[in-house]
Amino acid sequence: MAEIRLHPVIFLVSVTLIIIVLATMTRTLQLLRSRGHKQFRQLKRERHKTQRHLAIIDKHILMANTDANGKVTKASTAFCEHTGYTKEQLKSGTLARLIPDENSSSLLQQRYQEASQKGLVSVEAQEKNAYGGLYWVKLQIEPQYDRNANLIGFTEIREDISTQKKLEELWMTDQLTGLYNRSRLDELFEAELRRANRYGTQFSLLLLDIDHFKQINDTHGHLVGDDVLYAVANLLQSNIRDVDILGRWGGEEFMLILPNTNQSEALILAEKLRNTLRDHPFTAVSKVTASIGISSYIAGVEADELFKRADDALYRAKAKGRDRVELGMVSIPNPNEQSRDRSA
Protein backbone atom coordinates (compact mmCIF):
# COMPACT_ATOMS: atom_id res chain seq x y z
CA MET A 1 0.00 0.00 0.00
CA ALA A 2 1.36 3.37 -0.92
CA GLU A 3 2.18 5.69 1.95
CA ILE A 4 0.24 8.95 2.00
CA ARG A 5 2.45 11.95 2.47
CA LEU A 6 1.23 15.51 3.21
CA HIS A 7 3.06 18.41 1.87
CA PRO A 8 4.69 20.27 4.76
CA VAL A 9 2.85 23.47 3.85
CA ILE A 10 -0.52 21.75 3.81
CA PHE A 11 0.27 20.05 7.10
CA LEU A 12 1.24 23.34 8.68
CA VAL A 13 -1.93 25.04 7.42
CA SER A 14 -4.08 22.17 8.72
CA VAL A 15 -2.52 22.30 12.14
CA THR A 16 -2.93 26.05 12.23
CA LEU A 17 -6.61 25.78 11.31
CA ILE A 18 -7.17 23.17 14.00
CA ILE A 19 -5.52 25.40 16.57
CA ILE A 20 -7.64 28.37 15.47
CA VAL A 21 -10.83 26.29 15.66
CA LEU A 22 -9.95 24.98 19.13
CA ALA A 23 -9.06 28.49 20.31
CA THR A 24 -12.31 29.84 18.93
CA MET A 25 -14.32 27.10 20.62
CA THR A 26 -12.49 27.71 23.88
CA ARG A 27 -13.14 31.44 23.68
CA THR A 28 -16.77 30.81 22.83
CA LEU A 29 -17.14 28.51 25.80
CA GLN A 30 -15.48 31.12 28.01
CA LEU A 31 -17.84 33.82 26.75
CA LEU A 32 -20.87 31.60 27.23
CA ARG A 33 -19.70 30.70 30.71
CA SER A 34 -19.04 34.36 31.54
CA ARG A 35 -22.43 35.38 30.15
CA GLY A 36 -24.09 32.60 32.09
CA HIS A 37 -22.41 33.76 35.29
CA LYS A 38 -23.45 37.34 34.54
CA GLN A 39 -27.05 36.33 33.90
CA PHE A 40 -27.04 34.20 37.03
CA ARG A 41 -25.72 37.11 39.09
CA GLN A 42 -28.33 39.39 37.53
CA LEU A 43 -31.11 36.91 38.31
CA LYS A 44 -29.79 36.63 41.84
CA ARG A 45 -29.82 40.42 42.24
CA GLU A 46 -33.37 40.58 40.85
CA ARG A 47 -34.46 37.87 43.27
CA HIS A 48 -32.95 39.74 46.20
CA LYS A 49 -34.59 42.94 44.99
CA THR A 50 -37.95 41.19 44.73
CA GLN A 51 -37.51 39.74 48.19
CA ARG A 52 -36.76 43.20 49.58
CA HIS A 53 -39.87 44.59 47.91
CA LEU A 54 -41.96 41.74 49.28
CA ALA A 55 -40.50 42.34 52.72
CA ILE A 56 -41.42 46.04 52.50
CA ILE A 57 -44.95 45.13 51.40
CA ASP A 58 -45.26 42.60 54.20
CA LYS A 59 -44.05 45.13 56.77
CA HIS A 60 -45.97 48.22 55.65
CA ILE A 61 -48.96 47.26 53.46
CA LEU A 62 -52.25 46.10 55.01
CA MET A 63 -52.90 43.26 52.58
CA ALA A 64 -54.76 39.97 52.80
CA ASN A 65 -55.66 37.27 50.31
CA THR A 66 -58.66 34.95 50.43
CA ASP A 67 -59.93 31.97 48.49
CA ALA A 68 -63.08 32.09 46.37
CA ASN A 69 -65.23 31.51 49.49
CA GLY A 70 -63.67 34.40 51.37
CA LYS A 71 -61.50 32.36 53.75
CA VAL A 72 -58.18 34.05 54.46
CA THR A 73 -55.19 32.33 52.86
CA LYS A 74 -52.51 34.94 53.43
CA ALA A 75 -52.06 38.13 55.46
CA SER A 76 -49.16 40.57 55.69
CA THR A 77 -47.35 41.22 58.95
CA ALA A 78 -48.59 44.83 58.83
CA PHE A 79 -52.17 43.59 58.49
CA CYS A 80 -51.78 41.36 61.54
CA GLU A 81 -50.22 44.12 63.63
CA HIS A 82 -52.94 46.57 62.63
CA THR A 83 -55.86 44.26 63.35
CA GLY A 84 -54.38 42.53 66.40
CA TYR A 85 -54.93 39.06 64.96
CA THR A 86 -52.22 36.47 64.30
CA LYS A 87 -51.91 34.91 60.85
CA GLU A 88 -53.21 31.64 62.26
CA GLN A 89 -56.28 33.35 63.71
CA LEU A 90 -56.99 35.12 60.43
CA LYS A 91 -56.61 31.95 58.40
CA SER A 92 -59.19 30.21 60.59
CA GLY A 93 -62.05 32.26 59.12
CA THR A 94 -63.06 35.23 56.98
CA LEU A 95 -62.52 38.97 57.28
CA ALA A 96 -66.13 39.41 58.35
CA ARG A 97 -64.71 39.51 61.90
CA LEU A 98 -63.42 43.01 61.13
CA ILE A 99 -66.85 44.41 60.21
CA PRO A 100 -68.66 45.95 63.22
CA ASP A 101 -72.12 44.95 62.00
CA GLU A 102 -74.44 42.13 63.02
CA ASN A 103 -74.80 41.24 59.31
CA SER A 104 -71.04 41.27 58.75
CA SER A 105 -70.91 38.02 56.76
CA SER A 106 -73.66 39.17 54.43
CA LEU A 107 -72.00 42.54 53.94
CA LEU A 108 -68.67 40.91 53.15
CA GLN A 109 -70.27 38.66 50.52
CA GLN A 110 -71.93 41.71 48.96
CA ARG A 111 -68.53 43.37 48.60
CA TYR A 112 -67.05 40.24 47.00
CA GLN A 113 -69.98 39.95 44.62
CA GLU A 114 -69.61 43.57 43.58
CA ALA A 115 -65.86 43.12 43.12
CA SER A 116 -66.49 40.09 40.89
CA GLN A 117 -68.91 42.08 38.77
CA LYS A 118 -66.94 45.33 38.51
CA GLY A 119 -63.37 44.07 38.76
CA LEU A 120 -62.59 46.36 41.70
CA VAL A 121 -64.41 47.70 44.75
CA SER A 122 -63.20 50.73 46.68
CA VAL A 123 -65.02 51.82 49.84
CA GLU A 124 -64.40 53.72 53.06
CA ALA A 125 -65.50 51.64 56.01
CA GLN A 126 -65.21 51.47 59.77
CA GLU A 127 -63.66 48.28 61.15
CA LYS A 128 -62.85 46.83 64.55
CA ASN A 129 -59.65 45.17 65.70
CA ALA A 130 -59.19 42.12 67.90
CA TYR A 131 -59.52 44.27 71.02
CA GLY A 132 -62.80 45.90 69.99
CA GLY A 133 -61.24 49.20 68.94
CA LEU A 134 -62.73 50.98 65.95
CA TYR A 135 -60.82 52.59 63.09
CA TRP A 136 -61.46 53.76 59.52
CA VAL A 137 -59.93 52.29 56.37
CA LYS A 138 -60.03 52.86 52.65
CA LEU A 139 -60.59 49.34 51.37
CA GLN A 140 -59.93 47.99 47.87
CA ILE A 141 -61.02 44.48 46.88
CA GLU A 142 -59.88 42.92 43.61
CA PRO A 143 -60.83 39.44 42.36
CA GLN A 144 -58.10 37.01 41.30
CA TYR A 145 -58.47 34.47 38.45
CA ASP A 146 -56.48 31.49 37.16
CA ARG A 147 -55.37 30.94 33.55
CA ASN A 148 -58.79 29.60 32.66
CA ALA A 149 -60.54 32.71 34.01
CA ASN A 150 -61.89 30.83 37.03
CA LEU A 151 -62.26 32.86 40.22
CA ILE A 152 -59.72 31.68 42.77
CA GLY A 153 -60.00 34.37 45.42
CA PHE A 154 -59.72 38.04 46.35
CA THR A 155 -56.98 40.47 47.30
CA GLU A 156 -57.85 43.10 49.91
CA ILE A 157 -55.64 46.15 50.46
CA ARG A 158 -56.37 48.67 53.21
CA GLU A 159 -55.18 52.14 54.07
CA ASP A 160 -55.82 53.47 57.57
CA ILE A 161 -57.65 56.81 57.22
CA SER A 162 -58.61 57.25 60.87
CA THR A 163 -56.64 60.50 61.16
CA GLN A 164 -58.25 61.86 58.01
CA LYS A 165 -61.69 60.93 59.32
CA LYS A 166 -60.91 62.60 62.64
CA LEU A 167 -59.95 65.81 60.85
CA GLU A 168 -63.14 65.63 58.78
CA GLU A 169 -65.12 65.15 61.96
CA LEU A 170 -63.49 68.20 63.54
CA TRP A 171 -64.23 70.21 60.41
CA MET A 172 -67.92 69.30 60.34
CA THR A 173 -68.64 69.19 64.08
CA ASP A 174 -69.68 71.93 66.48
CA GLN A 175 -67.16 71.68 69.30
CA LEU A 176 -69.58 72.61 72.10
CA THR A 177 -72.52 70.35 71.35
CA GLY A 178 -70.88 67.64 69.25
CA LEU A 179 -73.55 68.13 66.58
CA TYR A 180 -73.02 68.97 62.92
CA ASN A 181 -71.98 72.56 62.36
CA ARG A 182 -73.43 75.04 59.87
CA SER A 183 -71.07 74.11 57.01
CA ARG A 184 -71.98 70.45 57.24
CA LEU A 185 -75.70 71.25 57.58
CA ASP A 186 -75.52 73.25 54.35
CA GLU A 187 -74.06 70.23 52.54
CA LEU A 188 -76.61 67.79 53.96
CA PHE A 189 -79.51 70.14 53.22
CA GLU A 190 -78.44 70.47 49.58
CA ALA A 191 -77.96 66.69 49.32
CA GLU A 192 -81.44 66.01 50.72
CA LEU A 193 -82.95 68.53 48.31
CA ARG A 194 -81.21 66.87 45.34
CA ARG A 195 -82.49 63.48 46.47
CA ALA A 196 -86.05 64.80 46.76
CA ASN A 197 -85.88 66.42 43.32
CA ARG A 198 -84.54 63.26 41.72
CA TYR A 199 -86.69 60.62 43.38
CA GLY A 200 -89.78 62.59 44.34
CA THR A 201 -89.32 61.91 48.05
CA GLN A 202 -90.52 64.20 50.84
CA PHE A 203 -88.59 65.89 53.61
CA SER A 204 -89.06 68.70 56.11
CA LEU A 205 -86.86 71.32 57.71
CA LEU A 206 -87.11 72.55 61.32
CA LEU A 207 -85.44 75.63 62.76
CA LEU A 208 -85.46 75.66 66.57
CA ASP A 209 -84.38 78.67 68.63
CA ILE A 210 -84.02 78.74 72.44
CA ASP A 211 -86.22 81.49 73.89
CA HIS A 212 -84.62 84.32 75.91
CA PHE A 213 -81.20 82.73 75.65
CA LYS A 214 -79.46 86.10 75.98
CA GLN A 215 -81.09 86.51 79.39
CA ILE A 216 -79.69 83.12 80.45
CA ASN A 217 -76.18 84.28 79.54
CA ASP A 218 -76.65 87.68 81.17
CA THR A 219 -78.15 86.26 84.39
CA HIS A 220 -76.20 83.05 84.91
CA GLY A 221 -73.09 83.55 82.80
CA HIS A 222 -71.83 82.05 79.57
CA LEU A 223 -70.69 78.79 81.20
CA VAL A 224 -74.26 78.09 82.25
CA GLY A 225 -75.39 79.12 78.80
CA ASP A 226 -73.01 76.56 77.29
CA ASP A 227 -74.38 73.91 79.65
CA VAL A 228 -77.91 74.71 78.49
CA LEU A 229 -76.89 74.45 74.82
CA TYR A 230 -75.22 71.08 75.47
CA ALA A 231 -78.25 69.77 77.38
CA VAL A 232 -80.67 70.96 74.67
CA ALA A 233 -78.55 69.26 72.00
CA ASN A 234 -78.67 65.95 73.91
CA LEU A 235 -82.41 66.19 74.47
CA LEU A 236 -83.07 66.85 70.81
CA GLN A 237 -80.74 64.05 69.69
CA SER A 238 -82.41 61.51 71.98
CA ASN A 239 -85.89 62.34 70.69
CA ILE A 240 -85.38 62.02 66.93
CA ARG A 241 -84.87 59.10 64.57
CA ASP A 242 -81.49 57.76 63.52
CA VAL A 243 -82.09 58.99 59.97
CA ASP A 244 -82.91 62.54 61.09
CA ILE A 245 -80.12 65.10 60.84
CA LEU A 246 -79.53 67.50 63.72
CA GLY A 247 -77.02 70.31 63.89
CA ARG A 248 -76.25 73.63 65.51
CA TRP A 249 -77.06 76.33 63.00
CA GLY A 250 -75.45 79.05 65.09
CA GLY A 251 -75.71 80.63 68.53
CA GLU A 252 -78.79 79.17 70.24
CA GLU A 253 -80.38 78.01 66.98
CA PHE A 254 -80.60 74.40 65.81
CA MET A 255 -81.57 72.87 62.47
CA LEU A 256 -83.24 69.52 61.88
CA ILE A 257 -83.49 67.86 58.45
CA LEU A 258 -86.18 65.16 58.47
CA PRO A 259 -86.03 62.73 55.51
CA ASN A 260 -89.29 61.13 54.32
CA THR A 261 -91.31 63.46 56.55
CA ASN A 262 -94.29 65.54 55.41
CA GLN A 263 -95.58 68.70 57.05
CA SER A 264 -98.06 66.95 59.35
CA GLU A 265 -95.43 64.52 60.60
CA ALA A 266 -92.94 67.37 61.08
CA LEU A 267 -95.53 69.27 63.12
CA ILE A 268 -96.03 66.28 65.44
CA LEU A 269 -92.28 65.98 66.01
CA ALA A 270 -91.87 69.73 66.54
CA GLU A 271 -94.56 69.76 69.24
CA LYS A 272 -92.95 66.75 70.89
CA LEU A 273 -89.56 68.49 70.97
CA ARG A 274 -91.08 71.74 72.24
CA ASN A 275 -92.87 69.97 75.10
CA THR A 276 -89.78 67.90 75.95
CA LEU A 277 -87.65 71.01 76.34
CA ARG A 278 -90.30 72.91 78.32
CA ASP A 279 -90.84 70.03 80.77
CA HIS A 280 -87.18 69.12 81.25
CA PRO A 281 -85.68 70.08 84.67
CA PHE A 282 -82.52 71.95 83.69
CA THR A 283 -80.00 72.19 86.51
CA ALA A 284 -78.94 75.85 86.55
CA VAL A 285 -82.07 77.47 85.12
CA SER A 286 -85.65 76.88 86.11
CA LYS A 287 -87.11 76.56 82.65
CA VAL A 288 -86.07 76.49 79.00
CA THR A 289 -88.48 76.90 76.10
CA ALA A 290 -87.98 77.04 72.35
CA SER A 291 -89.71 78.39 69.27
CA ILE A 292 -89.80 76.29 66.10
CA GLY A 293 -90.42 77.05 62.43
CA ILE A 294 -91.27 74.32 59.90
CA SER A 295 -90.76 74.17 56.14
CA SER A 296 -91.67 71.12 54.03
CA TYR A 297 -90.43 70.26 50.57
CA ILE A 298 -92.49 71.22 47.54
CA ALA A 299 -91.35 70.13 44.08
CA GLY A 300 -89.59 72.92 42.24
CA VAL A 301 -88.86 75.06 45.31
CA GLU A 302 -85.22 76.10 45.68
CA ALA A 303 -83.10 75.69 48.80
CA ASP A 304 -83.15 79.39 49.64
CA GLU A 305 -86.95 79.45 49.52
CA LEU A 306 -87.29 76.35 51.70
CA PHE A 307 -85.00 77.85 54.29
CA LYS A 308 -86.74 81.24 54.17
CA ARG A 309 -90.11 79.61 54.83
CA ALA A 310 -88.74 77.93 57.97
CA ASP A 311 -86.94 81.11 59.02
CA ASP A 312 -90.09 83.24 58.60
CA ALA A 313 -92.13 80.67 60.52
CA LEU A 314 -89.62 80.78 63.37
CA TYR A 315 -89.85 84.57 63.41
CA ARG A 316 -93.66 84.37 63.64
CA ALA A 317 -93.38 81.90 66.53
CA LYS A 318 -91.16 84.39 68.34
CA ALA A 319 -93.48 87.30 67.54
CA LYS A 320 -96.55 85.43 68.79
CA GLY A 321 -95.16 84.86 72.26
CA ARG A 322 -92.50 82.14 71.88
CA ASP A 323 -92.70 78.53 73.10
CA ARG A 324 -94.72 77.63 70.01
CA VAL A 325 -94.51 76.03 66.55
CA GLU A 326 -95.35 77.76 63.28
CA LEU A 327 -95.68 76.34 59.78
CA GLY A 328 -93.81 77.94 56.89
CA MET A 329 -95.69 79.42 53.98
CA VAL A 330 -94.55 80.05 50.41
CA SER A 331 -93.03 83.51 50.27
CA ILE A 332 -91.47 85.80 47.71
CA PRO A 333 -87.86 86.75 48.53
CA ASN A 334 -87.41 90.45 49.29
CA PRO A 335 -83.84 91.63 48.64
CA ASN A 336 -84.47 94.80 50.68
CA GLU A 337 -85.61 92.92 53.77
CA GLN A 338 -83.48 93.61 56.83
CA SER A 339 -82.09 90.77 58.97
CA ARG A 340 -84.18 89.99 62.03
CA ASP A 341 -82.89 89.86 65.57
CA ARG A 342 -84.30 86.90 67.52
CA SER A 343 -81.63 86.89 70.22
CA ALA A 344 -84.23 87.61 72.89
Say what angle helices 162-172 and 182-199 make with each other, to 10 degrees.
90
Say if strands 290-296 and 325-327 run parallel, antiparallel, or are unpaired: parallel
Please name the amino acid found at residue 236. L
Out of 252, 271, 302, 305, the active site residue is 252
- Residues 154, 214 contacting (CB under 8 angstroms): no
Alpha-carbon span 165 to 124, nearest angstrom: 10
Residue 33 burial by Cβ neighbours in a 10 Å radius (0-12, 13-18, 19+): exposed
Active site residue 252: yes
Max distance between CA atoms of the chain, in angstroms, equals 147
Catalytic residues: 252
